[in-house]
A and B are shown apart, each in its own frame.
Chain A
Amino acid sequence: MSRRFAVSLAGLALVGLSACAGGDAPAASPAATDGAGDAVSGTITLYTSEPQAKVEELIAAFNETHPDVTVDVFRAGTGDLTARIESELATGEVQADVLLAADAPTFENYKDQDLLMELDVDTAGLLEEVVDPEGFYVGTRVIPTVIAHNTTAITTAPASWQDLTDPQYRDQIVMPNPDVSGAAAFNAAVWLLNDDLGEPWLTALAANQPVIADSNGPVSQAVASGAQPVGIVVDYLVRDLADAGSPIAVSYPSEGVPYVYQPVGVFANTDAEAAAMAFADWLVSSEGQQLAVEQNYLPVRTDVDSPEGAPAMADLELMEFDLAEVQQRRTEAVELFNRLFQ
Chain B
Amino acid sequence: MSSAVTVRPAPRRGWRADSFTGVRVIVWLVTAGVVLTPLAAMVALAVQGDQFALLGSEDVVVAARNSVVTSLASAIGAVAVGTYLAIVLDHTDLRGRAALRLFALSPMFIPPFVGAIAWLGVFGPTMGVNRVWSDGFGAPLWNIYGADGIIFLLTVHSYPLAYLIIGAALRRIPSDLEQAARIAGASGVGALRDVTIPLLRPALVASFTLTFVSNLADFGIPAIIGLPERYYTLATLIYRSIQSGTVAAPLSVVSTIGVALLAMAVVAALLDARVNRQHTELDSTAVVRHRLDLAGARLPLSALTWLAALAITVLPIVALATQAVLPAPGVPLAWEHLTLDNFGRALGLRSTQVGVRNSLMLAGLAAAICAVLGLLVGLVTTRTRARGNALLNGLAILPQAIPGTVIAVGWLIVAPTLGLFNTPWLILVAYVMAFLALVVQAVSAPLRGIPVTLEEAARASGATQTRALFDIALRLAIPAAVTGGAMVFLTAVRELTISALLRSPGTQTLGVAIFDLQQAGNYNASSALSLLVTIVGLLGIALLAGRERN
Nearest chain A CB to B456 CB, angstrom units: 54
B337/A51 in contact, CB under 8 A: no
B505/A214 in contact, CB under 8 A: no
B230/A246 in contact, CB under 8 A: no
A227/B124 in contact, CB under 8 A: yes
Chain B residues near A79 (CB-CB < 8 A): 243-246
Does A286 lie at the interface of the complex (its beta carbon under 8 Å from any beta carbon of B)? Answer: no
In B495-541, which residues have CB < 8 Å from any A CB?
Answer: 504-506, 516-517, 519-523, 525
Nearest chain A CB to B525 CB, angstrom units: 8
Give which listed residue, A47, A91, A217, A226, contacts B519 with CB less than 8 A: A217
Once the chains are docked, how many angstroms separate the CA of A55 from the CA of B273? 52
Does A314 lie at the interface of the complex (its beta carbon under 8 Å from any beta carbon of B)? Answer: no
Nearest chain A CB to B517 CB, angstrom units: 7
Once the chains are docked, how many angstroms separate the CA of A250 from the CA of B506? 35
Given A79-B245, A224-B329, A73 and B519 contact (CB-CB distance below 8 Å): no
A218/B331 in contact, CB under 8 A: no
Does A209 lie at the interface of the complex (its beta carbon under 8 Å from any beta carbon of B)? Answer: no
Given A51-B522, A92-B421, A152-B330, A226 and B126 contact (CB-CB distance below 8 Å): yes
A53/B230 in contact, CB under 8 A: no
Give which listed residue, A73, A150, A244, contacts B351 with CB less than 8 A: A73
Give which listed residue, B244, B246, B522, contacts A217 with CB less than 8 A: B522
The stretch that binds B, out of A80-88, A138-146, A267-275, A288-296, is: A80-88
Chain A residues near B242 (CB-CB < 8 A): 83, 87
Once the chains are docked, how many angstroms separate the CA of A226 from the CA of B516? 22
In B437-469, which residues have CB < 8 Å from any A CB?
Answer: none
In B109-130, which residues have CB < 8 Å from any A CB?
Answer: 124-127
Closest to B247 in A: A83
- Chain B CB within 10 A, most for which of A179, A245, A248: A245
A: number of interface residues (CB 8 Å): 52
A220/B521 in contact, CB under 8 A: yes
User: Which range holds the interface residue count of chain B?
Assistant: 35 or more
- Chain A CB within 10 A, most for which of B351, B416, B520: B520
Residue-wise, chain B 393-419 has the 8 Å CB interface mask toward A (1 for contact) of 000000000000000000000001000
B251/A87 in contact, CB under 8 A: yes
In B315-347, which residues have CB < 8 Å from any A CB?
Answer: 327-331, 337, 345
Chain B residues near A61 (CB-CB < 8 A): none
Residue-wise, chain A 219-262 has the 8 Å CB interface mask toward B (1 for contact) of 11100111100000000010001001111100000000000000
A80/B244 in contact, CB under 8 A: yes
Give which listed residue, A51, A53, A246, contacts B329 with CB less than 8 A: A246
Closest to B517 in A: A52
B328/A91 in contact, CB under 8 A: no
In A58-81, which residues have CB < 8 Å from any B CB?
Answer: 72-77, 79-80
B520/A215 in contact, CB under 8 A: yes
B351/A75 in contact, CB under 8 A: yes
Chain B residues near A221 (CB-CB < 8 A): 329, 521, 523
Chain A residues near B230 (CB-CB < 8 A): 177, 212, 342
Once the chains are docked, how many angstroms separate the CA of A221 from the CA of B326? 13
Chain B residues near A225 (CB-CB < 8 A): 124, 126-127, 329-330
Chain B residues near A241 (CB-CB < 8 A): 328-330
Given A74-B504, A244-B327, A245-B331, A214 and B228 contact (CB-CB distance below 8 Å): yes
Chain A residues near B337 (CB-CB < 8 A): 245
Query: What's the dominant secondary structure at chain A's contact region?
Result: mixed
Chain B residues near A56 (CB-CB < 8 A): 349-351
Chain B residues near A123 (CB-CB < 8 A): none
In B286-314, which residues have CB < 8 Å from any A CB?
Answer: none
Does A192 lie at the interface of the complex (its beta carbon under 8 Å from any beta carbon of B)? Answer: no
Closest to A225 in B: B329
Does A203 lie at the interface of the complex (its beta carbon under 8 Å from any beta carbon of B)? Answer: no
Given A213-B228, A241-B328, A247-B330, A52 and B349 contact (CB-CB distance below 8 Å): yes
A72/B330 in contact, CB under 8 A: no
Chain B residues near A150 (CB-CB < 8 A): 330
B245/A75 in contact, CB under 8 A: no
Closest to B525 in A: A53
B506/A72 in contact, CB under 8 A: yes
21 A-B contacts (beta carbon < 8 Å): A51-B520, A53-B349, A56-B351, A72-B505, A73-B350, A74-B506, A76-B516, A84-B504, A87-B251, A88-B422, A95-B504, A96-B505, A150-B330, A214-B228, A217-B522, A225-B124, A226-B330, A241-B328, A241-B329, A245-B327, A247-B330
Question: Besides A247-B331, A248-B330, 15 other CB < 8 A contacts?
Answer: A52-B349, A53-B345, A56-B350, A56-B351, A79-B246, A83-B250, A88-B422, A91-B416, A213-B521, A215-B520, A219-B521, A224-B329, A225-B124, A226-B126, A244-B331
Residues of A within 8 A of B (CB): 45, 47, 51-53, 56, 72-77, 79-80, 82-84, 86-88, 91-92, 95-96, 150, 152, 177, 179-180, 211-221, 224-227, 237, 241, 244-248, 342
* 4 tightest A-B CB contacts, nearest first: A217-B521, A83-B245, A74-B505, A244-B328
